[in-house]
């Protein structure tokens, strides 16, 4: 069995020079993880794991200016995108047969948008 806990604090300030829009993000989250493995004999093993992750939007996803590099597909980002929390659970059964290995895996992932105070200063 392995268990872990990570704490992460984020303090971010943004300033869009053209529109003078400003934003402030300030949040703290815990990221637990748990991994359990059980070997019943030399041929059968079961593993179960849980973890929480964070998925932050990258620069291009946040950039509000249109990208005209491909005239057929114009793209622009959304500066109000929020990070996502991802809870992941995975179960695995492994069977060792002579020189072969059979592995069955099932997983579940749930994604939630982070909810925290977003402050935008007036223009």
The answer to whether 27 touches 10, Cβ cutoff 8 Å, is yes
The answer to whether 115 touches 29, Cβ cutoff 8 Å, is no
Per-residue model confidence as pLDDT tens digits over 47-105: 999 999 988 888 888 788 888 888 888 888 887 778 888 999 999 999 999 999 999 99
Burial call 70-95: b when 16+ CB within 10 Å, e when fewer = eeeeeeebebeeebebeeeeeeeebe
pLDDT of residue 114: 72
The pLDDT-based confidence of 121 (bands split at 50, 70, 90) is very low
Give the rounded percent of residues in the chain with a pLDDT score beyond 90.
43
**Mean pLDDT, residues 5-34:** 84
Identify the burial level of 25 via C-beta atoms within 10 angstroms of its C-beta, where 0-12 means exposed, 13-18 middle and 19 or more buried.
Answer: middle
């Amino acid at each position: 069995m392995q268990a872990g806990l990570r704490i992460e604090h984020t303090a971010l300030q943004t300033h869009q020079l053209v529109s003078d829009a400003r934003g402030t993000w300030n949040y703290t989250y815990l990221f637990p993880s748990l991994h359990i493995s059980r070997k019943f004999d030399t041929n059968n093993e079961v593993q179960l794991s849980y973890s929480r992750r964070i998925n932050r939007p990258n620069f291009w996803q946040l950039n509000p200016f249109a990208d005209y590099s491909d005239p057929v597909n114009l793209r622009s980002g959304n500066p109000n995108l929020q990070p996502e929390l991802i809870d992941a659970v995975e179960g695995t059964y492994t069977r060792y047969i002579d020189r072969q290995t059979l592995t069955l895996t099932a997983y579940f992932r749930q994604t939630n948008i982070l909810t925290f105070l977003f402050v935008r200063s007036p223009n």
